[in-house]
Structure formats: structure tokens, C-alpha cells
Amino acid sequence: MIAYIQKIAEDLKARFEWPDKSEELHDFAINTLNEHLEMLVEELNRLDPRDFVGDERYEFVELSEGPRRSQQERSGTERLP
């Protein structure tokens, strides 16, 4: 996977593991979580599964669906099959 997309995913994961439980910092973490999720989905949408070969193509499609689905649930939109 492209390094900058991995970095976005790592930053997103860190937002889920936010150690400070204060309400103000928690709200900040949630806001940045949403921003990072949007960034990740935007970058994943730019990639073409045909750029991957064999099992990597399948893995990319499977792994990229999770963030897309999560963003759709947060925004209240659904993608048609």
C-alpha cells in the first residue's frame, strides 16, 4: 500500500486509542477522527484495484470497503450495489 495512505490509517488508529478521557480533548479527538476517516476514504477512492495484482487486488478491495462503509454510516448515506 502507498506509504502516505498507511500514515493516514495509522493516525486514524491513534485517534481511536486516544488516552485522555477529558471531554474537551475527547471532542477534539472525535472531530479529527472524522477528518482522518474522510481523508482515508478520499485517498482510497483515488486508487484503482486494477493497479494491484492477484491476491493483493482482493485484499485491497476488502480492506478499503471498511473505511468507506464507516464513512457512509457516519454521514447517513448508503452506496448502491
pLDDT tens digit sequence for 33-60? 778 788 888 888 888 888 888 888 888 8
pLDDT tens digit sequence for 55-80? 888 888 888 888 778 777 777 655 54
Handedness of CA 61, 5, 74, 76 (dihedral sign): negative
* pTM of the entire predicted model: 0.58
Minimum mean pLDDT among 7-16, 23-32, 50-59: which range? 23-32
Minimum mean pLDDT among 10-19, 23-32, 33-42, 52-61: which range? 23-32
Is the pLDDT reported for residue 81 higher than 70?
Answer: no
Residues 27 and 55: their CA atoms lie apart, in Å, by 39
Instruction: Classify burial at 43, counting beta carbons within 10 Å of its beta carbon; exposed 0-12, middle 13-18, buried 19 or more.
Output: middle
